[in-house]
Every structure is written in structure tokens, then in C-alpha cells.
Amino acid sequence: MIIPMIRNLFIALLVIAGTSCVAQSKNPQYDAQLAQKVGADEYGMKIYVMAFLKAGPNRLKDSAARAELQQAHLKNIMRLADEGKLIVAGPFLDNQDIHGIFIFNVRTVEEAKTLTETDPAIKAGSLIMELHPWYGSAALVEAYRLHKKVEKKSVAD
């Protein structure tokens, strides 16, 4: 009587263990260590904050001063990227109201606002940022590391 009970218990445990392994991921490419490293949820996604960069009220007329401010803006972008706080940044090329985007690797708009306040173009009033929480692929955090492998020359130099 005890042997069949132990055998049935053992079979039940094997079924439960097998089911939980299958339930973890139906994706044969799933990498649990990478998912944990990048902060992915079960869908491979995470929360970021996206910033839309728009023209601010204090646009510089002097081209030398504007170039100097742009260089400082780019250096700040690189600093934030090196710190892992900014994972995507770039301008739009169609000369519209929104000049560019940032995707901050932070969970709250308040954290992103603190980071935007370090930008010389924001401080000067040349740019303003509109911030929105955004849900996207957690793999984006690897973009900067990969970018460094394909970047021949830095935009901040």
C-alpha cells in the first residue's frame, strides 16, 4: 500500500516539475540569464521612459554658440548612455516639431525628469522634453553595447 502511494507521489511530482518547465517558456531561444540581466518580464518587456525633444523658448541665434551647446548636449547624451540610463537617442530628420527622442532606462517619469535636467540644452531652454512611460522590449538595454561595436566615430567628438 505504501509503495504504490510513493510511486504515485513520485509520478505526480514528475508531472508537476515537467509542467512547470514547459510553462516557463515555449520559446526554445529563451535565455533566462539574459532576461534577468536586462530586467525582462515574462513577455521580454520592461518599462522605460520615452522623451520627445522639442524646440524650447530660447533658441540660440549665434551659430558658434549653438554648435557649442549642441556639443555639450551630445556629451551629456554619451555620459547618460555610459551610465546605462539612456539606451536610445537620436534626432528626427524631417524638421518637424519633435526634434528627437530619448529612451531612458528608468521606470518613472520623475527619474527621467531628473536626468533631463542634466542636459545643457534643457538648462539653456533650447530644448524641452515631453516625457512618457513606455513599455518596450527589454533587449533594448543591449543596444548601446552593440552600438559601440559598430560606431567608427563618436558623434560627441
Q: Are 146 and 69 a contacting pair, CB within 8 Å? A: no
Please give the single-letter amino acid code of residue 58: N
What residue spans define the domains of the chain?
Answer: 2-29, 38-150
The CATH number for 38-150, chosen from 1.10.4080.10, 3.30.70.1060, 3.40.140.10, 1.10.357.10, is: 3.30.70.1060
| Per-residue pLDDT tens over the stretch 94-148 | 989 999 999 999 999 999 999 999 999 999 999 999 999 999 999 999 988 888 8
Average pLDDT for 81-106: 95
| Per-residue pLDDT tens over the stretch 106-115 | 999 999 999 9
With bands split at pLDDT 50, 70 and 90, how would you rate the model's confidence at 60? confident
Rounded Cα distance, 68 and 54, in Å? 19
* Mean pLDDT across the chain: 88
- 22 pLDDT above the threshold of 50: no
Q: Dihedral, CA atoms, 11, 16, 18, 24, nearest 10 degrees?
A: 180
- The model carries a pTM of 0.80
The maximal CA–CA distance of the chain, rounded, in angstroms, is 92
3-state secondary structure the chain: CHHHHHHHHHHHHHHHHHHHHHHHCCCCCCCHHHHHHHCCCCCCEEEEEEEEEEECCCCCCCHHHHHHHHHHHHHHHHHHHHCCCEEEEEECCCCCCEEEEEEECCCCHHHHHHHHCCCHHHHCCCEEEEEEEEEEEHHHHHHHHHHHHHCCCCCCC
With bands split at pLDDT 50, 70 and 90, how would you rate the model's confidence at 27? confident
